[in-house]
Amino acid sequence: MSILSLRRINKKYGQAKVFAVNEVSFDVEEGEILALVGESGSGKTTLLRLIAGLEHPDDGTISLAGQVIVQGKESVPPHDRKVGMVFQDYALFPHLTILENVTFGIAKSKGNPEQLAKDTLKLVGLTEDFKKYPHQLSGGQQQRVALARAIAPNPRILLMDEPFSNLDAMLKDQVREEIRQIIKKTGITAIFVTHDTKDALSTADRIAILHKGYLQQIDIPKNLYETPVNPYVANFFGKRNELLATPSEDGFYTSFGFITDLEAKKYKRQVKLLFRPEHGEVVQREGQQLSGKIVKVSYFGSHQLVKISDDEGFRVTIRTNPGRIFDEVERTFFYLWKYDIEEAF
Ligand code: ADP
Ligand code: MG
């Protein structure tokens, strides 16, 4: 069931020439984690602020938990929307202890607010130090406090702006997994913003990708990566090779050799074969494969990227396992086990 629904949301700031958010419509299902991705300036933060009620759209409708919260000039004020927000810089109150920070938003709620605040801090993995002030905590701990403060009032939806961007790489992998577990444990619906595709692919149930304020695609991570709706989405999730190919009856002629493919005869003119580095395989022996010269090998620990050049100096990049040893300038063979075919002109 959908808990949040956006319909044709447009937002332009003051005298700006272009819209920050353009005709954006999507639904978020109850209990799901949605990642909002896009380059800097693509409208991610604006979209979160529109949902939270910190900005008002020029037009469009937003419904939350069956209630219309934005329509035309009408809107439900932020504090009545029951939206939890974790800001990019955490925005903790510096002069309040972490317990006071979390208790602040629930002070008027029924029961025992302080106990609820303590329980929520424990839930996010903070078990002591309740009397410390934010500046006495690490970045990762401050973020947990911000998360506890956002979820303690039991919001209908949790919004997080770039929750992983201030964490260093080693901490990030761990925090990503922990935050996902906390959110799943509470069953809360969440939207988080990130410009890092790794964050989105590994943490979200679904991903929405924005470009210049327009929603490009919203789908499960695997589909976004494997069946992108346009070249922008495809390239956002990692570079693709583009190899020119001339079709014939039984395959494609390329500058690295011939690829047998009965699909080729469907095409009349030159095409582009689009493939990711992991969709190729470097092989030892000559055969029905492509060949070229290895011009560069880059080692990444978990894998290597091998750049292979044709006679004219045009290069493709193929991924291999990290254990293989290559000599640069060596002639090598490779094949493609997957590619998309696109009309070149
Ligand atoms: P993102 O979070 O994806 O980086 P933003 O939503 O912050 O993108 O910004 C989208 C566009 O709106 C950008 O062009 C940005 O410069 C502009 N913008 C954002 N906030 C404001 C503001 N308060 N006033 C004017 N323009 C803004
Ligand atoms: Mg932003």
* pTM, to two decimals: 0.86
**Pick from 150, 100, 88: which is nearest to 129 by CA?**
100
At 150-204, the pLDDT tens digits run 999 999 999 999 988 877 777 788 888 889 999 999 999 999 999 889 899 999 9
Is residue 113 lining ligand 1, measured as CB closer than 6 Å?
no
Ligand 1: which atom is nearest the Cα of residue 43? Answer: 6
What pLDDT, on the 0 to 100 scale, is given for residue 175?
84
At 293-304, the pLDDT tens digits run 999 999 999 999
What pLDDT, on the 0 to 100 scale, is given for residue 184?
94
The mean pLDDT of 86-90, rounded to a whole number, is 90
Tokens coding 66: 């069956």
At 234-246, the pLDDT tens digits run 999 888 999 999 9
Pocket test for ligand 1, best of 13, 39, 89, 212 (most atoms within 8 A of CB): 13
Q: Are 267 and 342 in contact (CB under 8 A)?
A: no
314: enclosing H helix or E strand: none
What are φ and ψ of residue 293, in 5° steps?
-105, 135
pLDDT at 138 over 90: no
Find the helix packing angle between 139-151 and 113-123, rounded to 10°: 130
Q: CA angle, 299 as apex, 298 and 304 as ends, to 5°? A: 80
Residue with tokens 């690829």: 259
What pLDDT, on the 0 to 100 scale, is given for residue 284?
78
Write the CATH number of the domain with boundaries 241-343: 2.40.50.140
Compute how many other C-beta atoms are within 10 angstroms of the C-beta atom of residue 97. 17
Torsion angle of alpha carbons 205, 186, 156, 86, nearest 10°? -80
Chain mean pLDDT for the chain: 93
Which range of 26-40, 107-121, 133-147, 219-233 scores highest in mean pLDDT? It is 26-40
> Among all ligands shown, which has an atom nearest to the Cα of 161?
2
Cα–Cα dist 188/29, whole Å: 11
The DSSP secondary structure of 218-235, one letter per residue, reads EE-HHHHHHS-SSHHHHH
CA 20 vs CA 15, 16, 46, 265, 319: distances in Å: 12, 9, 7, 44, 37
Q: Which is higher by pLDDT, 140 or 313?
A: 313
Cα–Cα dist 120/115, whole Å: 9
Write the CATH number of the domain with boundaries 2-236: 3.40.50.300
Is residue 277 lining ligand 1, measured as CB closer than 6 Å?
no
pLDDT band at 345 (very low <50, low <70, confident <90, very high): low
Tokens coding 333: 């063979």
Q: What percentage of the chain reaches a pLDDT higher than 70?
A: 100
pLDDT at 84 over 70: yes
Q: Is 309 strand, coil or helix?
A: strand
Q: Are 179 and 152 in contact (CB under 8 A)?
A: no
Alpha-helix runs per DSSP H in 219-319: 221-226, 231-236
The DSSP secondary structure of 65-127, one letter per residue, reads TTEEEEETTEE--GGGS-EEEE-TT----TTS-HHHHHHHTTTTSSS-HHHHHHHHHHHTT--
Pocket test for ligand 1, best of 46, 48, 195, 196 (most atoms within 8 A of CB): 46
Alpha carbons within 13 angstroms on the beta-carbon side of residue 339 total 27
- Please tell me the distance between residue 48's alpha carbon and the centre of ligand 1 in angstroms: 11
Ligand 1: which atom is nearest the Cα of residue 45? Answer: 2
At 57-77, the pLDDT tens digits run 999 999 999 999 999 889 999
Cα–Cα dist 163/78, whole Å: 21
Cα–Cα dist 15/273, whole Å: 43
What pLDDT, on the 0 to 100 scale, is given for residue 250?
95
What pLDDT, on the 0 to 100 scale, is given for residue 189?
97
Find the helix packing angle between 169-186 and 139-151, rounded to 10°: 20
At 324-343, the pLDDT tens digits run 888 877 889 999 999 999 88
Tokens coding 239: 């570079």
What pLDDT, on the 0 to 100 scale, is given for residue 321?
94
Domain boundaries, the chain: 2-236, 241-343
Which residues are found with C-beta within 5 Å of the ion, ligand 2?
45
Is residue 38 lining ligand 1, measured as CB closer than 6 Å?
yes
What pLDDT, on the 0 to 100 scale, is given for residue 286?
74
